[in-house]
Structures are given as structure tokens and as C-alpha cells.
Amino acid sequence: MSELFQLLYISQLSEHVDYDLSAQEETSDGRTSGDWMRARMQDLNLADAVEITDIDICLGDKIPEHETFDAVILGGSLHSVHDMHPWQHQLLAWLDAYRPTGKPLLGICAGHQLMCYWQGQEVAKLTPEAFEATMTIKRTEAGQRHPLFDGLDDTVAYNFGNNEYVIGVPDGAEVLATLRQAQSLALDHGGNWYSIQFHPEISMEVMQAFWRIQDPSKVDNYRPTVEAPKLLGNYLKLAGLT
């Protein structure tokens, strides 16, 4: 294995049926979610320390054996957890097998929802409106002191792009942040597993490029989130990056 920290990034972004990423304008961060994660490593000055292997499970890529990586990030998706595409069943089976290894996992947005769904929690539509903007969050007392949020105060905003949320709290999980009815916005699941509903890996530029195609009225909902990627660095430290 390389001396670099090995990060596996699992994309479940789009089957390119309802939304074709190739139609989205090129941004300075690139076009794929793996590109966006590499851009954030550059921002964090971690590009020379972290080697990212990115796979796209909804386009048929297979998840490597867990021995080949140090930590995993399970990314967001334009698909609902309720769609239950074959690759989503594969992800649920993978969670079954991966949990006993004790290795780290961070779920982002749909990754967060799938992790909670796997643990028996309900995922439902947001009302009265979706989270489709740059917003601040409310950290709990546990979140205030949690190393996942080290160096991030309550003024830090994060990019959101979701119309569903996790209703309950998985058994044994600790709630780190909330936002309106989303009372499980950020979780420490124990055993090196964490999940968040928002996107520290996606820049304002990428969010705006997406909404220019989907709904231009939402483009101005987003603003720069310079501090947000620190959460990714904090996760990698929790996962063993030195």
C-alpha cells in the first residue's frame, strides 16, 4: 500500500437518467464528485498526504476490498433512498459487511440518509420547503465539543441540496447538529462512523452550476463556504490521518 493515506470516495450521485452531469457547465472544481473531493483536499493542503480512489457505484463500479483503504466517504445522490435501485441494495449489503471491520466512514447527504435508513430510521420529505441553499446549522452541546467540528464555530455555513431528511436517531448515535425539523442533521454513530446532511465538499460554484440547469431561481441561494471543508480534514484526522 502507498504511504499516502488511502481514502475511498463512493459516489452515488446520478445514473445520468434524470440528470446528466455532462450537461452541467465545467467548473474550476471539475465535473465529477470525485473531482470536487480532490479540490477540497487541495484547499486543505492535503493533496500530497491523501490519495483518493473514487468509484461511481450507480454507474456500475465495484467497491474495493476494505483492506485497500484507510477510510471511506459515501457521497450524496440525486436519487432518493426510497428508489431502491440495485446499486442501493448493493450499498446496504456493503454497510452490513463494512460495519464489523471498525474502519471509518463519513456519509454525506444521501450517504447520511442511507446510513440511517440501514439502521432502521425513516427518511421523509422536508416540509414546507427543501434545504436548497447555503445555511448555518445549530450544533448540540455534544456537537460544540466534538472533534468533527474542531475549528468550526456557529457562524460557519454549509451548502445544502436536499428535499428529504432523517426523522429519527439511530440507536446509540449522538446528535451533533440540527436544522428546523431535521433533528438528526449530523451524527456520531459510534465505532468511527459519522454522517452529515450538508455538503462540505461542494463549492458555491458547483451548486450554482447545477441550479442554472435545474432551477435558475435558486442560483442566488448560495454563497462561499470557505471554512466548511475543514470538517473533511477533521474527519480524516479522526480516521487516522497524521
For the chain, what's the residue count? Answer: 242
Residue 18 vs residue 234, higher pLDDT: 234
Burial class (CB in 10 A: 0-12, 13-18, 19+), 203: buried
pLDDT at position 18? 61
Average pLDDT over residues 180-192: 97
pLDDT at position 23? 65
pLDDT at position 1? 45
Whether the CB-CB separation of 26 and 35 falls below 8 Å is answered with no
Assign 34 to helix, strand or coil: helix
Q: What is the per-residue pLDDT across 86-124, written as a single tens digit (0 to 9) for each?
A: 999 999 999 999 999 999 999 999 999 999 999 999 999
pLDDT at position 60? 95
> What single-letter DSSP state applies at residue 79?
S
Q: pLDDT tier at 3 (50, 70, 90 boundaries)?
A: confident
Q: What is the per-residue pLDDT across 131-159, written as a single tens digit (0 to 9) for each?
A: 999 999 999 999 999 999 999 999 999 99
Average pLDDT over residues 180-184: 95
* Helix H or strand E segment including 242: none
Q: What is the per-residue pLDDT across 21-77, written as a single tens digit (0 to 9) for each?
A: 666 777 999 988 999 999 999 999 999 999 999 999 999 999 999 999 999 999 999
Q: pLDDT tier at 16 (50, 70, 90 boundaries)?
A: confident
Where do the DSSP E strands lie in the chain?
A: 5-11, 50-56, 71-74, 105-108, 123-125, 134-136, 138-139, 157-159, 164-166, 174-179, 182-190, 193-196
Alpha-carbon distances of 106 from 33, 81, 189, 208, 234, rounded to whole Å: 15, 17, 10, 24, 11
CA atoms within 13 A on the CB side of 183: 8
Which domains does the chain show, CATH number per domain? 5-238 (3.40.50.880)
The pTM score is 0.96
pLDDT at position 21? 66
Report the C-alpha gap between 143 and 173 in whole angstroms: 12
Residue 125 has pLDDT above 90, yes or no: yes
Residues forming a β-bridge with 9? 54, 73
pLDDT at position 31? 84
pLDDT at position 122? 97
